[in-house]
Amino acid sequence: MPERAADLAPENISTLDRLVRSIDMAEGFALFIARCNVPVLRNDLILTARQQLAALGVAVVEVAFEDRPVNVRERVAAALAAADVPGTSESAWHVTAPKRAIFVTGLELGIPYDQPNSRVLAELNLGRDAFLRDAPHPLVLWLPDYAVTAVARFAPDFWAWRSGVFEFEADAVERRVAIEHFTGNRPWHTLTNLSPEVRLLRRRQLESLLDDYRDLPDEPRAIGERAVILIKLGEICAASQDHKKAAAYYEQALSLVYQLNGQRSKAVTLTLNNLGLVYSALGEKHKALGFYEQALPLQRQVGDRGGEAATLNNIGMVYDALDEQRKALEIYEQALPLQRQVGDRGGEAATLNNIGVVYDALDEQRKALEIYEQALLLSRQVGDRGGEATTLNNIGFVHDTLGEQHKALDFYEQALLLSRQVGDRGGEAATLNNIGLVYHTLGEKRKALDFYEKALSLNQQVGDRWGESITRYNMVMVYEDLGDLAQAEEQLVLVVALDEAVGHPDLANHRAALERVQAQRRAAPGQRASA
Amino acid sequence: MPAPTLAKTLKDVFNTANPIPLQSGDPRYVDCTAVRGNEDSVGQMFRVIAWSDQPATAQLFTGHRGCGKSTELFRLQKRLEDAGYAVIYFGADDAIDVEDVIYTDVLVAIAQQVYGGLQRLGVKLDDELLDDIFKWFAEIVYEKANTKEFQAELAAEFSMGAPPLLLPLAQLLAKITGQLRTGVESRQQIRSRLDPQIAHLIERINLLIMRGVGTLRKQGKQGLVIIVDNLDRIPFRKLGDGRSNHDALYIEHGEALRSLRCHLVYTVPIASFYSTSVSRLTSTFPDRRVLPMIKTHTPGNQPWPEGLAILRQILAERIDLDAMFEEPALATLCAESGGHPRILMTLVRYACEYAANRFPRPIDANAVERAISRFTSEYSRSVPEAYFPKLAKVFRAKQCDNDDAYRDMLHNLIVLEYMNGLEPWHNVHPSVQRLAKFRSALSDA
């Protein structure tokens, strides 16, 4: 354990003294709220408080939520029970037990930043009296600022029982340490791969951290750090498929990085590209193009050919999505020479892969296979197993289209292996989904459903509602073939709900499909929904 | 209950200044009737029940959070029991998900509490009646026609390895209330099945009540009273088309709530008396009581010595004031509470933290001032920016309008209600008055 206690700022030390003193005075239940926006500081404070309380004979029981908290009181009671020394009898316990204090962290996971009136607050507010009974000890809730306000507003009965709010302020060094925790270059799928709970935790931490910058003077260092937080927030929201929120954060970041570095900086063009990606995901393809087209001339002015190629690649994908395949090919062809000039073989492989996708869409499957082979070679040369897996998956898809189902399965197996090696659960889910399609074609409907289920469970682990919608729709196709309209309807209801949540462009079609199935079911008497 | 010793150390002061409601008969209880500015609420509610020639009455009771409602209801329960009534008291928060509640939930919770309460009171109900009620709930809620099979299912569900402790009807009602409380999907289903059957539901509950009351009377009891506390914690929510969840519960379904054949006391949020549909509420429930704040000042902002003296007495029942407080500081603390007993306790707790390191009278002007300033800054979290112009208006007029913002202010103790006789008036909490934003809103207008 690092000896950081000595590093605490004098104001924080005196606030902590008051908190410790109050805990020491309190007998039975008493509620204290400790406000701190920066996790590193909070951890130091908790460590120091533990030591000081231990010296006073008070043992701290810590309850740390790592997911949306439910049954807070029961969790606290369970932690208390677990803290009791085993083997001592009830009567002996009362004589020898040390005084306890309960520290709760992570409640903010259940308190959305922009919609704080949440379930966990209602639970605290209503369950207030039960804390007296189940946790008759001083209770300290460690919360970021916005969550403290949320408790005051939306859990007023609980709030009214507080015996003090203790406000701790982070200094510049502590804030910087907190930011470093979130930076560093990691591949995209490390974000999309995180469980939704971990992404949520990061998002709350970043949002709280941002609050600490609200009242700071506008000096370059603070602006830069604020921009980094906003960009990281954008990334985490995009990875969680909350693209609207991601766009809002990126837009705020954009104006800061402009202000800080001028138009031509790499930070600006990267942010423009990120904005393009989220608007593209939101289906606003023309808006996305607008951002990419802002980035291109800036990159050309400073001669950032690698960046230019990446932007062109993104533009190509938009045209592909707009069904302008010829235009997409044209753009990709511009990206390739740039990537070759700067020796970016990984990027070249990605572009080739995208070109293959276009040829596949143009029904030029042989041509697509040729291009994919080139992409595969490059990916292997640079050791990009993630990219290799993507291309193998796409090759499998081509073979499926060509009616070569068994060949398709071979490639999917290879893709699966690599996705698992690099831990890309999103990619793995996509391939499993495709394997389901193959088995459906082969008439092995039960086997198809098995693979769809496997894909679903991965989609849900990483919170990919988009992928989940696609796979569920594929299941509908199987159920319809099986004549199981009840199951088909059940899945379609979920598909429509998922589409609504992510703004899926096929929403209208899927709704129509649902109505069609419902009409069919009404026309087929004797089939009743199982409750 | 033995008289508690007075707190003479900071630690004792900190612990006795506890905001938890007093139990009935606690010697620390102080009768605040006169200074609250109204008549004795408990006495009035008692008389409505005791003087009625009907076996059934229905009353509403309200007041600010933490103003002493539960303490007063405990007193009512004691007084009724002393007068020979059987009383079933329960906190709605224990039985219902107050966050999302509709009238059928309340009725089912009452059914469960009545059945449990009658058992605790030693009332034996005949098996035929219980079977009939079991059968009804089983069929309506779970579409189970085979009683025997369903009872076995329930027994298995409830035993979890141990022999079942509850009788079948108790198990069934516990299952239903459990699902209403925690199961989001099953909740909707149960409601949609009970809603069209509401007359039958009430009839079944009344069967329980009337048989129970019959037996209670034979035991010499005067009747049965059900007190539902903490229903006032239902957070206010708009349902669209201008209705609120409060209106839906107490106004649209008020008749259902009052149709049980015993004496009923429901708590309601204070804000519901400031609803635009308050006249419909009063026509359904003509008997309503408000427990106002203790007056610390007059509507003309002059100190009200009688009220301040009572607040001081509330502390004197717990604390050796001479030993612990400096004099003008104590008066400041009492005035700052706004006449709200729990806030008074919170302020005392805060002052302990800043107390001087000397005896006697460690809680001095400095400690009180720091306690107040900290409490004020914490209060600012409860007050959204947009409220300040409205608050300036309340401060000047000493009255609230009927709108959502004001309801929220009453709900969150930003604005307090006082009484002059039967005339309510309002003021902004003293700590809110200290906020810079309030002062600038006041000078703006």
Residue A97 tokens, joined: 């037990």
A6 pLDDT higher than 60: no
How confident is the model at residue B273, as a pLDDT? 76
Q: Is the pLDDT of residue A248 over 70?
A: yes
Burial of A323 (0-12, 13-18, 19+ CB in 10 A): exposed
State whether B413 and A156 contact (CB < 8 Å): yes
User: For the segment A14-68, what is each residue's pLDDT rounded down to a tens digit?
Assistant: 999 999 999 999 988 899 999 998 888 999 999 999 999 999 999 999 999 988 8
Mapping DSSP to helix (H, G, I), strand (E, B) and coil, where does residue B318 land?
coil
Which residues in chain A are contacts of B230 at CB distance < 8 A? 126
pLDDT of A129 over the 90 cut: no
Instruction: Mark out the alpha helices in A28-144 (DSSP H runs).
Output: 39-55, 72-83, 90-96, 119-126, 128-134
> Are A458 and A431 a contacting pair, CB within 8 Å?
no
Query: How many residues are given for chain B?
Result: 445
Q: What is the pLDDT of residues A277-292, one digit of tens each?
A: 999 888 788 999 999 9
Between B140 and A198, the more confident residue is: B140
Per-residue pLDDT, A87: 44
Per-residue confidence (pLDDT) for residue B277, from 0 to 100: 73
Chain A hits for B233, CB-CB cut-off 8 Å, are: 125-126, 157
| ipTM of the shown complex | 0.76
Has residue A525 got a pLDDT over 60?
no
Residue A2 pLDDT: 42
How far is residue B443 from each of residues A112, B263, B383, B433, B436, measured CA to CA in Å?
A: 36, 51, 18, 12, 11
For residue A223, pLDDT over 60 is answered with yes
Q: Strand pairing partners for B363?
A: B325
Least Cα separation, residue A243 to chain B (angstroms): 28
Q: ∠A27-B311-A24 over CA atoms, to 5°?
A: 15
* Mean pLDDT for all residues in chain A: 88
Closest to B271 in 3D by CA, of B429, B392, B404: B404
Interface list for chain B against chain A, based on CB atoms closer than 8 Å:
10-11, 14-15, 18-20, 65-66, 91, 93-94, 97-99, 189, 230, 233, 235, 342-343, 346, 349-350, 352-353, 374, 378, 381-382, 384, 411-413
pLDDT at A531 over 60: no
Size of interface A-B (CB pairs under 8 A): 75
Chain B: closest CA distance from residue A28 (Å):
9
> Rounded to the nearest 10 degrees, how much is the dihedral formed by the CA atoms of A190, A192, A193, A194?
90
pLDDT in tens, A327-379: 999 999 999 999 999 999 999 999 999 999 999 999 999 999 999 999 999 99
Helix (H, G, I), strand (E, B) or coil at A273: helix
Q: What are the helix (H) ranges across A282-364? A: 285-302, 305-321, 325-342, 345-361
What pLDDT sits at residue A1?
40
Sign of CA dihedral B200, B204, B207, B213: negative
Q: In the structure encoding, which two tokens stand for residue B2, read together?
A: 């033995």
Q: If you count DSSP H runs as helices and E runs as strands, how many of each does chain A have, helices first?
A: 26, 5
Which chain A residue has the Cα nearest residue B412? A156
Contact A102, A140 (CB under 8 A): yes
Closest CA to A137 of A30, A25, A32: A30
Identify which of A122, A127, A165 has the shortest CB distance to residue B235.
A122
Structure-model confidence comparison of residues B61 and A84, the more confident one: B61
Cα separations in angstroms, B125 against B87, B170, B264? 18, 13, 21
CA distance B361 to B8: 10
A248 touches chain B (CB under 8 A): no
Mutation for testing the B interface, residue in A33, A163, A528 having most B CBs under 10 Å: A163
Contact yes or no for A120/A111 (Cβ under 8 A):
yes
CA dist B133 and A301 (Å) reads 83
The one-letter amino acid code at B287 reads D
Do residues B26 and B72 lie in contact, with contact meaning Cβ atoms separated by under 8 Å? no
Please list the helix, strand and coil fractions of chain A in percent, rounded to the nearest 5, in that order.
Answer: 75, 5, 20
Which residues does A137 contact at the CB level (< 8 Å), separation at least 6?
A28, A29, A61, A80, A99, A100, A101, A102
Task: Calculate Rg over the CA atoms of chain A.
Answer: 28
CA angle B398, B399, B400 (to 5 degrees): 135
- B111 with B94: CB under 8 angstroms? no
Q: What is the mean pLDDT of residues A107-136?
A: 83
Say whether B426 sits in a helix, a strand or coil.
strand
Query: Which residues lie across from B345 on neighbouring strands?
Result: none
Nearest to B413 by CA among B396, B397, B426, B398: B426
pLDDT tens track of chain B, all 445 residues?
A: 455 688 899 999 998 888 666 666 677 777 776 666 656 888 899 999 999 988 899 999 988 877 788 888 999 999 999 999 999 999 887 778 777 888 999 999 999 999 999 999 989 888 899 999 999 999 999 988 888 888 888 888 877 655 556 788 998 998 999 888 877 778 888 999 999 999 999 999 999 999 999 999 999 999 999 999 988 888 777 777 778 888 888 888 999 999 999 999 999 888 777 767 777 888 888 888 888 888 899 999 999 998 999 999 989 989 999 999 999 999 999 999 999 988 999 999 999 989 988 889 999 999 999 999 999 999 988 898 889 999 999 999 998 887 778 888 888 889 998 887 777 899 999 999 999 999 999 998 6
* Kind plus residue range of the DSSP H or E element containing A466: helix A465-482
Residue A182 contacts residue A142 (beta carbons within 8 Å): no
Q: Are strands A138-143 and B243-244 parallel, antiparallel or unpaired?
A: unpaired
Comparing CA positions, the residue from B416, B5, B407 lying closest to residue B245 is B407
Q: Are A210 and A236 in contact (CB under 8 A)?
A: no
Chain B CB contacts of A117 under 8 Å are 235
pLDDT band at A189 (very low <50, low <70, confident <90, very high): low
Query: H/E element holding B10?
Result: helix B10-16
Put simply, the answer to whether B20 touches A132 (Cβ < 8 Å) is yes
**pLDDT attached to residue B176:** 92
The confidence score (pLDDT) of residue A57 equals: 92
| Contact present, A452 and A475 (Cβ < 8 Å) | yes
| Three-state DSSP state, B438 | helix
Kindly determine whether residue B19 and residue A160, on different chains, have CB atoms separated by under 8 Å.
yes
Q: Do B15 and A25 touch (CB under 8 A)?
A: yes
Average pLDDT over residues A254-260: 89
Exposed/middle/buried for residue A374 (C-beta within 10 Å: 0-12, 13-18, 19+) = middle
pTM, 2 dp? 0.71
Using a CB–CB cutoff of 8 Å, tell me whether A121 touches chain B. Answer: no
Q: Do A163 and B378 touch (CB under 8 A)?
A: no
CB contact under 8 A, B14 and A22: yes
Taking alpha carbons only, the member of B116, B109, B115 closest to residue B181 is B109
Identity of the highest mean pLDDT range in A181-195, A471-485, B50-64? A471-485
How do the residues of chain B divide into helix, strand and coil, expressed in percent and rounded to 5? 55, 10, 30
Q: How confident is the model over A388-408, as a mean pLDDT?
A: 96
Supply A44's token pair. 């130091």
Cβ burial of A138 (10 Å; 0-12, 13-18, 19+) is: buried
Model confidence band, residue A154 (pLDDT cutoffs 50, 70, 90):
confident
